[in-house]
Structures are given as C-alpha cells and as structure tokens.
Amino acid sequence: MKRTASLDPVTHGPGTSHLRARLEQLFNSCGIDIDGPNAWDIQVHHEEFYSRVLADGSLGLGESYMDGWWDVRDLDGFIYRLFAGHADEKARTWRNALAWLTASLFNLQRRSRAFQVGEQHYDLGNEFYEGMLDARMIYSCAYWEHANTLDEAQEAKLDLTLGKLGLRPAQRVLDVGCGWGGALKYAAEKYGITGVGVTIAKEQAAYARRSCQHLPVAIRLQDYREMREKFDHAFSIGMFEHVGVRNYRRYMRVIRRCLHPGGRFLLHTIGNFQSTNHTDPWINKYIFPNSMVPSRQQIERAIEGLFTVRGWQSIGGNYERTLLAWRANFERSWSRMSARHDERFRRMWAYYLSACAAAFRANKLDVWQVLLEPVA
C-alpha cells in the first residue's frame, strides 16, 4: 500500500516520542530542528518517519521523502547539513553492511547485469532528459570557470576534456559510454575525427545515431568488454561509475588493447576520497543500480603496469552548480513530464539531484579528469 502524507499535525505516542528524541539529537548535532523555522528544518507529516529513518538510514530518509512523509523548503541545504555534520557516518544501518557484503561476494557489474542501469535510468525517455540537460545532452559535470549558462559550461567541459587528447583530423577515437553522443559529435565537428561510441542504453543509442547521422561516427549498443578494435585515442565521460571495483583492472586492459601506440585515454569520473565497493542504498535502489564511485587508490591499482598518469585534474567544485541547473530545468519542465510520471517520481528526482548537489558542496565527492598513456 502506498504511503501518503498526512495534512494534519502529527501526534506522537510514547514510543514515537522516544524515537523522535533519538533522531532529533542526531539532527540537532547537524544544526537541524524537526518542525523548526529555518528553511533547512524539516517538517514531519507522519509519525512513523522516525522509526523508518532509524531502521533504514539513507534509504528510509529518501523513501519517506518520496512518499510525502516530510518536507523542507531548502532540500539540498538540509541534506548538506547532514553531510557536513557526518550524520551519514553516525547513522549507518544494517543496509550499509549488507551492501558491502553483497558487493564483496558478487560481481554486481558483471556482463549479464551491464544493461540494467540503462533500462532503469537512462531509458526513461529522451524527451525527459531533453527537459533537464543542456542542448548537447551532456549528463556529467560541467565546467563553469568562464561560463554563465549550462550550455556554455558543458561546451567548456568538452573543450577541457577533448583538448587533453591532442586530437587531429582523421584520427579514430573511441567514446566509452557515449550517452546521447554529444561529446563524440562535438569531437567530429570541431576536430575532424572519426569515431565509435558505445552505450548500454537503447534510448541513448537511438538518439545518438540520429544526432550523428551525417558524421563519420558509429554508435553501438554494446558492453565495453566486447571492444577489440584499434583507436588513436579514447575517452570516457561519466561512465566509470558503473564499472565496479571488481572490473576496474579488466576495464583498463580493454582500453589498453584498443589503443594504438602513442594513444591517450582521458578518464572523466566522479571520485571518492575513501575506497568502498558499493554505493548508497537509496541511490542503488532508485537511481543507479550496481553503481559505485572509485577512489584514487582503486584507479591507481587498476592502471598499474598498463598506463602512466600524465595529468590528474580535480573539477568537482563545478558539480554542485551543474546539479542545481539540472534541478531547475527539471522543475521548469515538470508540467509536461507529469503526463508520464507521478508525484512520487517528481519527489524522487528532486531528492536525487538535491542530495548529489549537497554531497559535492560538503566535499564528500570530487570529479577527476585523469589523462593516461599506455606503458611502452
């Protein structure tokens, strides 16, 4: 049965009062009051909210927001304060332990599961993403140093990324996880390259093929592990988060075998300051199944003996603004999206974009551009 928000004031029984006091203590340590006056203070509508969050942690917090059990005027500000106050570390539940154990025992990103994230997340519909992203449909951190709009910031990011490869006309370039084809299209138009892009999302592949149909670019619905052709250079923007630590070494071997001598590989990925083997339980269930964010140590172990690092740039300070721009676009486009998606979906996406923006504001995550050259 779907949980719904109560519009009446919440009444608390003896058990509920005890649970509220426990959660209130945690929130107060982060500068948050329950039913307080500040924009970041949450307003609770359902008496089971406290037991749900204490039992299920981040999953319970996200799901209860989706179900309308609480509201807050400044959603990203509320979640930022939780991160800044280390509430995510203080309130780990059995679900975190289960996620770690499951990822330790099983390869969650094995080939048979590779297309799952495409089906659940990226195949929501191209019209949906057109309403949220920039004109080129780039679904990764933009670069705002000299930009005023999302379109300008994403073009600047492409210039930053592709400029590191030293592309020349007629070179053959591989885009691993090409999304809607925007980066490869830009590379073909600006640098005169030919290219191949691979993605595991059907809707993305269809869109990219239409977008690149007049260019020397091939788009394939294909797992990266199947690539065996040779290329002058390769890049991957925002795809490594789906590879999984059990597959990092194999991933790098695939890239290495696909490069001609002297080729370069540019890896653009979200980065974690601590090594782990899984993602947040709510993110895994509702947004990116089987995902995880790599640490620097995990990347370095994966490339040992295969690649030399020629550059490692941090641009994570740009992601909060990118995510908030996506959220603003999503909210502006909701009136036409609502014909296909319900209110719970709207709250889910608002929570996802706000939580990610908060994580970057709190410096829980970074974005790295790693320039690699094969070891001779």
Catalytic residues: 356
Q: What is the three-class DSSP state of 248?
A: helix
Secondary structure letter of residue 295 according to DSSP: B
Give exposure, 86-97, as e/b (b: 16+ Cβ within 10 Å).
Answer: ebbeebebebbe
Contact 164, 369 (CB under 8 A): yes
| Of residues 177, 162, 240, the one with CA closest to residue 208 | 177
Contact 42, 32 (CB under 8 A): yes
CA dist 142 and 351 (Å) reads 20
Which residues is 219 bridged to in the sheet? 197
Question: Cα 214 vs. chain centroid, distance in angstroms?
Answer: 30
Distance set, CA 189 to CA 172, 194, 235, 288 (Å): 13, 10, 16, 31
Q: What is the three-class DSSP state of 39?
A: coil
CA dist 230 and 180 (Å) reads 23
Instruction: With residue 207 as reference, give the H or E element that holds it.
Output: helix 202-211
| Of residues 210, 153, 211, the one with CA closest to residue 187 | 211
CA dist 334 and 343 (Å) reads 10
| Tokens read off for 219 | 């788009």
CA dist 69 and 24 (Å) reads 16
